[in-house]
Chain A
């Protein structure tokens, strides 16, 4: 279901934004403002299945640990998300847009960061509304505060600034790991 919603986002992007013959700054707009939303869509509900106590009991009873199951799930969905972003970036390039590799990796970093915020909020609260609220809140904060957020400004690539993206990716991965750990601790 979430992958379908993610695909819908990609199909809607060319309708909402023009993606023909854009320079690298203009190309960053649809990628950072819309395509990066794949992160919260795909990664935030990662702990969703275990919210049902029946499924949680089944997963807990298995030989493979719950954390391993979640880690594999995160790994697979991040991979799917990266492929979706890559395919869309290739489509943009075919439409005459200037897409340097850093735009693709930067968008993946944005998506992982936003998704990991949702995972963290979901792991702490166990509440799906809170889980989605945190990335949305961060997104609106970026719109309001602009580049005052420094390295963690989501839409920095529109201004030609790529320096903060590796940091966002690393923090995103760390937050995802912390979320799995919190989830495990809460279950013990």
Chain B
């Protein structure tokens, strides 16, 4: 009964109408409602694209050339916390970088240490910039790690990023393996559902539910109904739990409908093939629901605790950092603390299904962690709400008990 009341309250609100409108607009701007590319079976002699492999013979010369180029201009691109950062080294650090380049190439450090960039380019020709003949891959990695530390971290020279310099063409055999995986495991529709989830997660589910929960939690306060609700018999756990469930229900209904709408666009492309018609549902609940859970829980917790819309700022800030953290490695990002995991791959790259399967365990860990975090926040919301009902904290987080209860105890003991 209470659940349906909350659903009605939410579904009839301006903020929900706006939520659905924004969801449709954001997703349609990414083209997920007009999928029309069919994944064709690879044929011999085609171009199957490029992928990264950590092959020392490829990685070492490419990384050293890139480092020399950035050294020449003294402009280094890094992403220390995900966001783009332009690093310019001071003279002392520049000399240290020259030492690293010298160790890598065998060219004397003094030749790198000249005043003007133009002189530097004149002094050392491009073909000289190559790995030293006796340079081992371990030595190379150690040098690159030092370079990365000098730049403050997050550069392309970080040990885990070096693979980016090893670009190799995808072979026909690899392409066939990927196609087979899409056919057998994804049953085609899974790939499209994943692409939908990538956009829906980052553009909507990681941010929009916070507005719904803030609006719902502030509604009692705005209508001056807080005290009336506080005095009702229903327990805080039931009240908060029901509200949370109502928010997630109204959030997920349009998401599931839109996921099916998007996915159904490709069903006729694969006539006669085995398709997974449950893929949109699986991805909506497995991939998108945990993001929505966290976003809604942050909204409820901070709003109940402070009585202000500060949760919007908190969630927007987290979302902003998370979104930009994807810029360096946008095509596949399954970090444990990602608010919205990324896997931006369509038919051209055969949905990068190998990346997905090899990162699947990390994705599961991430989604479980986010769902768990959301539930912890819900429990904390129940405590905050309960304290308010009992008058332990005020509407705007004034801890009355700390300042008011102490003299009471004193008086009691005196009596």
- Residue positions of A touching B, CB distance < 8 A: 5, 16-18, 20-22, 26, 29, 34, 41, 51, 96, 125, 127-130, 132-134, 136-137, 140-141, 143-145, 148
Contacts and interface: CB of A to CB of B under 8 A. Distances in A.
A17 B84 contact: yes
Contacts of B85: 17-18
Nearest to A52: B222
A83 to B, nearest CB: 22
Contacts of B15: 125, 127, 129-130, 133
A16 B88 contact: no
A137 B208 CA distance: 9
Interface of B: 13-15, 18-19, 22, 25-26, 29-30, 75, 78, 81, 83-88, 199, 203, 207-208, 211-212, 214-215, 218, 222, 309, 312-313, 316, 320-321, 323
Contacts of A51: 222
A20 B320 CA distance: 22
A133 B22 contact: yes
Contacts of B320: 34
Nearest to A149: B29
Given A51-B222, A129-B309, A141 B215 contact: no
Contact of A145 (B29, B75, B215): B29
A29 B218 contact: no
B138 to A, nearest CB: 31
Given A143-B323, A145-B29, A133 B81 contact: no
A130 B86 contact: no
Query: Which are the 5 A-B pairs with shortest beta-carbon distances?
Result: A18-B85, A129-B215, A144-B29, A21-B88, A18-B86
A140 B84 CA distance: 18
Nearest to A51: B222
A5 B313 contact: yes
Contacts of A16: 81, 83, 321
A141 B14 contact: no
B29 A125 contact: no
A50 to B, nearest CB: 12
A89 to B, nearest CB: 17
Nearest to A41: B313
B83 A17 contact: yes
B218 A129 contact: yes
B61 to A, nearest CB: 28
A144 B18 contact: no
B87 A140 contact: no
27 contacts: A16-B83, A17-B83, A20-B86, A20-B87, A21-B86, A22-B86, A29-B84, A34-B320, A96-B88, A127-B14, A128-B218, A129-B15, A129-B214, A129-B309, A130-B14, A130-B15, A130-B18, A130-B215, A132-B211, A132-B309, A134-B18, A136-B207, A137-B22, A140-B203, A143-B203, A143-B323, A144-B30
